[in-house]
Amino acid sequence: MKKNVGIFIFDNAEVLDFAGPFEVFSVTSELNNFELFDVFTIAKTKKAISAVNGLSVNPKYDFNDCPKIDILILAGGDGTNQVIKDEEVINWIAEQHKETEITMSICSGSRFLALIGALNNNPYCTHHQVYDDMKKLVPSGIPIKDKRFTQANEKTYTSGGISAGIDLSFHIIYKLHGKEIIENTAKYMEYPINKEVYNS
């Protein structure tokens, strides 16, 4: 069944945090007759967001008209420092997380998962410069600094910084659709698959 992949973006989101997973999921669907995923961006409002270094991005949906999300991807970036103070955003993420099949954070997007309690007593990855801050946000969390990504619990995943989100995206698709599907995508993208991707 085709799954909706919603990527949450905001001002000063790291570009590759959302563009990397967007490419992996959307190209995988493209190579399979667009039958696997419908990939889209979401922001609090439909106003264009200014990502890190000024890239302007128009979110497809906002909190009011976003369709049901099967796989929620939370981008990271310097902007997370401000966005985590927005109660409406945190509440929206918490509500979405209750209904998703998979929720995954990229880079410092782990801050969102910390604030909704999804990482309590669970392992997590994040950007190497964010681990100290995460100790304050989720003291009971277990930092995994030597991996590109990790599974926190039954449906929650976190990745390390920036490009690690590409590896986590391949891992999720591998678990859903198998080796041949992701290797076709990686070949098309000319991307070397990290061996961690095949770990269950």
In this structure, the strands spanning 156-159 and 149-151 are antiparallel
DSSP lists the bridge partners of residue 6 as 40, 72
By percentage, how much of the chain surpasses pLDDT 70? 100
CA–centroid distance for 53 within its chain: 20
Q: Is a pLDDT exceeding 80 seen at residue 200?
A: no
Compute how many other C-beta atoms are within 10 angstroms of the C-beta atom of residue 44. 19
CA atoms of 126 and 148, how far apart (whole Å): 9
SS3 60: coil
pLDDT at residue number 5: 98
pLDDT digits 0-9 by tens, 48-64: 999 999 999 999 999 99
Q: Could you read off the pLDDT of 149-184 as tens digits, one per residue?
A: 999 999 999 999 999 999 999 999 999 999 999 999
User: What CA–CA distance (Å, rounded) separates 22 from 31?
Assistant: 14
Residue 198 CB coordination number (10 Å): 13
Domains of the chain (ranges, CATH numbers): 3-198 (3.40.50.880)
Q: pLDDT (tens digit, 9 = 90+) per residue, 68-92?
A: 999 999 999 999 999 999 999 999 9
pTM recorded for the entire structure: 0.97
Give the integer Cα–Cα distance in Å for 78 and 23: 22
